[in-house]
Amino acid sequence: MNKNERATHMITRVVKDNQGEITAYEFENGDIVSKEQAVMLAKHGSISGVSISTSRKGEEYLRSLPDNDKSNNLDSLPVIDDNEIY
């Protein structure tokens, strides 16, 4: 890979807290990153298919790029069971 090419990750599953808010993301390679880490990676162009938004609370988070396919929205992705993480 030359310097101008970036490896980008694709989010395949999510971790949600008990209120249903996404707190972490799993990439295609199995790596799990926090919401904050994912925002930083997205700012550097390292995650495909997402943009960064800011919540009413002022927190940055990832959003799927609009494509009229709700099945690939981050909130619709499979949820990782806590037993798989801890």
CA angle 16, 12, 21 (to 5 degrees): 15
Residue 2 has pLDDT above 60, yes or no: no
Question: What is the token pair recorded at 61?
Answer: 């988070």
Residue ranges per structural domain of the chain: 11-78
Would you place residue 4 in the very low, low, confident or very high pLDDT band (cuts 50, 70, 90)?
very low
Average pLDDT over residues 31-53: 96
Per-residue pLDDT tens over the stretch 55-74 = 999 999 999 998 887 777 89
In this predicted structure, what is the pLDDT of residue 33? 97
pLDDT greater at residue 66 or residue 85? 66
pTM of the predicted model, to two decimals? 0.83
